[in-house]
């Protein structure tokens, strides 16, 4: 990854694996919820759909990439440092 400030870092394999697993889970849960809502008689209460979306949003919010934290640091060129 390269930031807009020119910093760069690599995502650790274990972090990427977690992100990929979450993406698969999100795809499965959301696809299932949508199919149940539009697929026929309401056998899937609206609250369950809302809960599924909320659970996925919470997991997404907790996703972290510690290996990329350095990208948040602004590195000034030597000519601008004091």
- Residue 1 resides in a domain: no
Give the structural domain span for 47.
Answer: 13-73
What's the pLDDT at 20? 94
Task: Please choose, from the candidates 29, 38, 31, the residue with its C-alpha nearest in 3D space to the C-alpha of residue 60.
Answer: 29
Kindly tell me if the per-residue pLDDT of 31 is higher than 70.
yes
Kindly tell me if the per-residue pLDDT of 17 is higher than 90.
yes
- Residue 61 resides in a domain: yes
- Residue 29 resides in a domain: yes
Question: Mean pLDDT, to the nearest integer, of 62-72?
Answer: 80
- Residue 49 resides in a domain: yes
- State CA 33 to chain mean position distance: 19
Across the chain, what does the average pLDDT equal? 79
- Residue 23 resides in a domain: yes
Task: Look at the chain and report how many structural domains it folds into.
Answer: 1
Question: Mean pLDDT, to the nearest integer, of 58-74?
Answer: 81
The reported pTM is 0.61
- Residue 36 resides in a domain: yes
């Amino acid at each position: 990854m390269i930031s807009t400030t020119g910093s760069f870092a690599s995502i650790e394999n274990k972090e990427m694996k977690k992100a990929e697993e979450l993406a698969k889970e999100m795809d499965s849960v959301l696809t299932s919820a949508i199919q149940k809502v539009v697929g026929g008689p309401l056998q899937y209460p609206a609250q369950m759909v809302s809960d599924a979306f909320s659970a996925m949003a919470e997991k997404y919010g907790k996703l972290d990439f510690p290996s990329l934290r350095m990208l948040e640091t602004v590195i000034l060129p030597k000519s601008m440092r004091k």
